[in-house]
Amino acid sequence: MSASAPHAPRATSGGSVLPPWVKQGGRAILAPLIRLAIALHLTPNSITVIGLTITVIAAILIASDVLLVGAVILTFGSILDAVDGGLARAQGATTPFGAFFDSTLDRSGEAILFIGVGAWLLRTQPDPLLPMLALMVAMGGSLLVSYAHARAQGIGLAAEVGLAPRTERLVLMIVGVALAGFGLTAGLIGVLVILAVLTVITVIQRIWHVWRLSQAVDIVANKEN
C-alpha cells in the first residue's frame, strides 16, 4: 500500500535474492485473497492491523520455542502483508495515510519478529553472543533499508533496488525459523548472518542508487536553467 512521490524517477528492484518465479507464485496467491477480502468488506487498514496481530502471535510462539507453528503463522501474516496494498489498489482506496500506516506497522512487525527470535536465542543457546550480534545487525540493517526507501520517496526519488527488500527478508526469516524448528539451529543462525550481510549491502546499494538519481536530476535541472 506504499505510495511513492509523484513523478519520482523510477527503477526496477533488480538484483533480488529471490528468483522471479517465487514472486510470480506469490502474486498468483494474492488474487483470490484480495477477492475474499472484498467479499468480507475488509478495508486495507484493517488487513494491515490483522497482519501485524498475526506477526505478534508468530513472534510470541517463536520466543516460546514453538518454532514450526510460528513459521507457518508468520507465513500467513507475510502473505497478508501484501494483500493490503493489492486491496487498496483494487478498491481505488490508496491514500497517503494508508501508505504511512502500512509502512509504520510493517516496520513494527519486523522489529517484533526480530525480538521474538532474539528471545528464543537467549533462552535456548548456551552462548548467544554471536547470534545476537548477527540478529542486531540484521534488524538494524532491515530498518535502514526501509528508511532509505522512505527517505528517498520524501525527496521525490525511488529507491526500490537492492538484494534484500522486505519480501526477501521475510522469506529468509521464515526459512531460518523453520530450519530451527526441525532442529537445525545453525540454519537460523546462518540466515541471521546472511541477513546481516545482505541488509548492509542493500543500504549501500540504495545510497548509491539515490546518489546517481540525484545527480541525473541535478543535470536535467541545470540544463533547463
Statement: residue 12 has pLDDT above 60? no
Q: How confident is the model at residue 219 (pLDDT cuts 50, 70, 90)?
A: low
Q: What is the DSSP string of 18-39?
A: S-HHHHHHHHHHHHHHHHHHHH
The predicted-structure confidence for 23-49, as pLDDT tens digits, reads as follows: 565 666 777 878 887 888 888 888 889
Q: Are 183 and 126 in contact (CB under 8 A)?
A: no
Task: State the pLDDT at residue 40.
Answer: 83
- Mean pLDDT is lowest, of 62-71, 77-86, 159-168, 208-217, for 77-86
CA distance 181 to 9: 43
* Reported pTM: 0.83
Q: What is the pLDDT of residues 63-82, one digit of tens each?
A: 999 999 999 999 988 888 77
Grid coordinates representing 25 are 507464485
Burial class (CB in 10 A: 0-12, 13-18, 19+), 6: exposed
For 20-219, the fitting CATH number among 1.10.10.60, 1.20.1250.20, 3.40.50.300, 1.20.120.1760 is 1.20.120.1760
Q: Kindly tell me the burial class for residue 59, based on how many C-beta atoms sit within 10 Å of its own C-beta (0-12, 13-18, 19 or more).
A: buried
> Across the chain, what does the average pLDDT equal?
85
Sorted by where each begins, the domain ranges of the chain are: 20-219
C-alpha cell of residue 26:
506469490
Per-residue pLDDT band at 3 (split at 50, 70, 90): very low
